[in-house]
Structure 1
Amino acid sequence: MSTQSEADGRLDPSLAALMSERRQLINLAYRLLGSLADAEDVVQETYARWYAMSRQRQEAIDSPGAWLAKVAGRICLDLLRSARARRERYVGEWIPEPLPDRTEWIDERPDGIAFDPADRVTLDESVNMAFLVVLESMTPAERVAFVLHDVFRYSFAEVAEIVGRTPAACRQLASSARRRIRASQAPAAPAAHQAGIVREFKQAWEAKDIDALIGLLDPDATAIADGGGVVSALLRPVEGGEQIARYLVDIAGKAATLTLLERTVNAQPGLVAQQDGVTVAVFAFDVAGDRIKHIWAVRNPEKLRPWTAG
């Protein structure tokens, strides 16, 4: 798509303003869906709907950015409603798609297509894995109302237009979601402290030191792993620090060529497992105090695109 301004070496100002919304839309859709692939599809569909309109209809819209956000929010809401049924049929636990630090992003997909820099999600506390997992427990309307209002600061009047409910109802939805967040999350440990715990965990796992692993895991810790394609899923969570430690040591004994790397996962310290230089799993952690409470192991190849070179 080109304009006369582009032919003269200048980007049409109206087009530039429209495309500048892409990063915001990607950030919004990822937090709503927990999937970068789905977020990309939502943004593509949003822009397709914009360009399907006549120029007259486009020019009648006072704020194209607000229109794009409204449409993207509605598409996400529809996807969340259908996703509940899809994820109930998902083999094993469904885990949100993990994201690397911006400096560690693989710039090429396995199919040879380069990632657009605008597709890189801004990483903050609203994308850490524990937060996204709590969002997964919400109803679609709760999740949309909460993310739009509490994370992206949309007014409840704007949220109401997207969700299709009254502003008062959207306020209640966000309040209910807020209670879920407070009930499920302990105060976050400083990043440096978390990194130290994850590093000790890595060293204990590499050494197959069961006692050290047990000491780093909360007695009531939970480990969840997904799968996909040729990768089999862990059909149910492993519960209990000792059980998780023994499970990890068993994995280490069977995968002698596995290499563990310390990496940032969704803005928090995590680990990446590689075999022959290929990323096969990404681990995210929930650290409370000096113990690990939750481990999420993402092994579905479709969710590892930003981590895997072609």
Structure 2
Amino acid sequence: MSHSEREGDHRGGTDFLAERFEAHRSHLRAVAHRMLGSAAEAEDAVQEAWFRLGRTDTRQVENLGGWLTTVVGRVCLDMLRSRRSRAEQPLDSWNPAPSAEPDPAQDALLADSVGVALLVVLDTLTPAERLAFVLHDLFGVPFEEVAGVLGRSPAAARQLASRARRRVRGAEAPDTDPARRRQVVDAFLSAARGGDFDGLLAMLDPDVVARSEAGVTSGASAVAAGATSFAHLAGVARPALVGGLTGLAVLLDGRVERALAFTFEAGRIATIDIVTDPERLAALTVELV
């Protein structure tokens, strides 16, 4: 920001500041939307950035657009961490949180522009990985500024983005062969029934993430260990389409007690979404195959 701009900001007060903020709103909304996957939550993040701007002496801000981008990044990072702490990782995790006013049209536009596969992968990243990838790879924010948002070194921010980028590249070339996906699920189910830890590892991506209402488990060893402890449920599980995704349905007394939906990378299971809540199960379309 030039000296004259800073002086104008000082003289113009709130109206001038609001005008300059509005000039950046669409960009900030795009950043927040890709960070959070929800139009409603993105609006909340942008609004919080406006509140913080109002509490800041903008005469000290050299680049308002860059400053606002980093502020929105910090707000989104906090929201993602809060979402994880509450284990809110539903199957349709790019939709708005229940407390937010949904905007299906905007969320559909995001899915179309970014790709459903990428949205699924973004939800498997840690909040720090997601922020590093979105800010740097999608919006060109330098790693030095990304590092400032994360409170880490530029080298650490670069490493986070690199890990995220590897996952995204897998999403850009997903395993779309239904027969192959079914073979992987059958092998996973067989290994789970037999408590075959090595067999489970062979079907899991090293960075697999399993999500449920109870929390999130990351890494092939941890997920495989969890699967072996549910061998009794694997015995009554059947291959199914869960919300249109390849998965499993656990049947008790003829009803679906829980559902598992999988995504795949390079012929292995990359994410497992586990639904046990009766209301969420009732809202899912589960079709045995």
TM-score when normalising by structure 2: 0.52
Separation in 2, partners of 1:302, 1:185: 32
2:272 is aligned to 296
Matches within 5 A, 1:143-154: 144-154=131-141
Measured after TM superposition, the shift of residue 239 of structure 1 is 1.9
Measured after TM superposition, the shift of residue 197 of structure 1 is 2.4
Contact kept? 1:261, 1:271, Cα under 8 Å: yes
Secondary structure at 1:18 match in 2: helix
Q: Does 2:271 match 1:285?
A: no
Q: What is the Cα-based RMSD across aligned positions, in Å?
A: 5.9
Q: Does 2:240 match 1:260?
A: yes
Choose between structure 1 and 2: higher helix proportion: 2
Matches within 5 A, 1:129-140: 129=121, 132-133=123-124, 135-136=125-126, 140=128
1:7 is aligned to none
1:25 is aligned to 32
Separation in 2, partners of 1:26, 1:53: 20
Matches within 5 A, 1:184-223: 190-191=173-174, 193-200=176-183, 210=190, 219-221=201-203
Query: CA 1:95 to 1:63, structure 2 compared with 1: closer, same or farther past 3 Å?
Result: same
Matches within 5 A, 1:89-238: 96-99=89-92, 114-120=102-108, 121-122=110-111, 123-124=114-115, 126-129=118-121, 132-133=123-124, 135-136=125-126, 140=128, 144-160=131-147, 162-163=149-150, 169-170=153-154, 172-178=155-161, 180=163, 190-191=173-174, 193-200=176-183, 210=190, 219-221=201-203, 224-228=210-214
Query: CA 1:43 to 1:308, structure 2 compared with 1: closer, same or farther past 3 Å?
Result: farther
Query: CA 1:308 to 1:283, structure 2 compared with 1: closer, same or farther past 3 Å?
Result: closer
Separation in 1, partners of 2:134, 2:228: 35
Q: Report Cα offsets for 1:253-287 as digits up to 9, x if no partner.
A: 7xxxxx932656xxxx5448699999964512334
Structure 2: unaligned runs, 5 residues or longer: 1-18
Contact kept? 1:22, 1:118, Cα under 8 Å: no
Separation in 1, partners of 2:72, 2:140: 16
Query: CA 1:67 to 1:175, structure 2 compared with 1: closer, same or farther past 3 Å?
Result: closer
Give the aligned residue type for 1:50: W
Contact kept? 2:250, 2:256, Cα under 8 Å: yes
Query: CA 1:98 to 1:156, structure 2 compared with 1: closer, same or farther past 3 Å?
Result: same
Secondary structure at 1:76 match in 2: helix
Equivalent pairs: percent with the same residue? 20
Secondary structure at 1:297 match in 2: strand
Contact kept? 2:250, 2:259, Cα under 8 Å: yes
Measured after TM superposition, the shift of residue 50 of structure 1 is 1.6
Query: CA 1:262 to 1:233, structure 2 compared with 1: closer, same or farther past 3 Å?
Result: closer
Give the aligned residue type for 2:261: F
TM-score when normalising by structure 1: 0.50
2:10 is aligned to none
Secondary structure at 1:99 match in 2: coil
Contact kept? 1:263, 1:272, Cα under 8 Å: no
Contact kept? 1:186, 1:288, Cα under 8 Å: no
Separation in 2, partners of 1:109, 1:187: 27
State the number of aligned residues.
245
Q: Report Cα offsets for 1:218-258 as digits up to 9, x if no partner.
A: 55445845225xxx999x955279959955642437xxxxx
Separation in 1, partners of 2:231, 2:161: 36
Q: Report Cα offsets for 1:91-147 as digits up to 9, x if no partner.
A: xxx58444389xxx8xx9978965342244444464344x644x32x8x4x653344
Give the aligned residue type for 1:144: L
Separation in 2, partners of 1:111, 1:278: 27
Give the aligned residue type for 1:227: E
Give the aligned residue type for 2:160: A
